[in-house]
Chains A and B, each alone.
Chain A
Amino acid sequence: MGQRKGSQVMDHAKLAEVLRDEFGKDAVAAVGGDPRFPCAELAAGLAKKILRFCAFEVSLKLDFLEDLIAVDTGERFELIYRLLSTQHRHRFNLRVALDRGAPGAAATASSVTDLWRAALCLEREIAELFGIVFEGHPSLDKLLLPEGWRGFPMRRDYEYPEDFGGIEHRRAPLRKEHARN
Chain B
Amino acid sequence: MTRKRYEMGILENALPEYAVFSRLDRLISWARENSIAYLTMDLACCGVEMLQVSGGRFDIERFGSVPQVSPRHADLMIVAGTITYKMAPLLRRLYGEMPLPKYVLSMGSCSNCGGLFSWEYSYSSVSGADKIIPVDVFVPGCPPRPEAVLHGLLALRKRIASRHAAVREEAPGEWGKERAVK
Contacts and interface: CB of A to CB of B under 8 A. Distances in A.
A165 B182 contact: yes
A160 B89 CA distance: 20
Give the interface size class of chain B.
Answer: 10 to 19
A171 B182 contact: no
A158 B123 contact: yes
Interface in A80-133: none
B5 interface: no
A166 B180 contact: yes
Contacts of B118: 171
Contacts of B132: 167
Interface in A133-181: 144-146, 153, 158, 160-161, 164-171
A167 B127 CA distance: 9
A145 B124 contact: yes
A164 B85 contact: yes
B123 A171 contact: no
Contacts of A161: 123
Interface residues of A, number: 15
Contacts of A145: 86, 124
A164 B179 CA distance: 11
A168 B85 CA distance: 11
Residue of B113, B124, B128 ringed by the most chain A CB atoms within 10 A: B124
B118 to A, nearest CB: 7
Contacts of A158: 123
B131 interface: yes
B123 A167 contact: no
B114 interface: yes
Contacts of A166: 179-182
A164 B126 CA distance: 9
B88 interface: yes
B63 interface: no
B58 interface: no
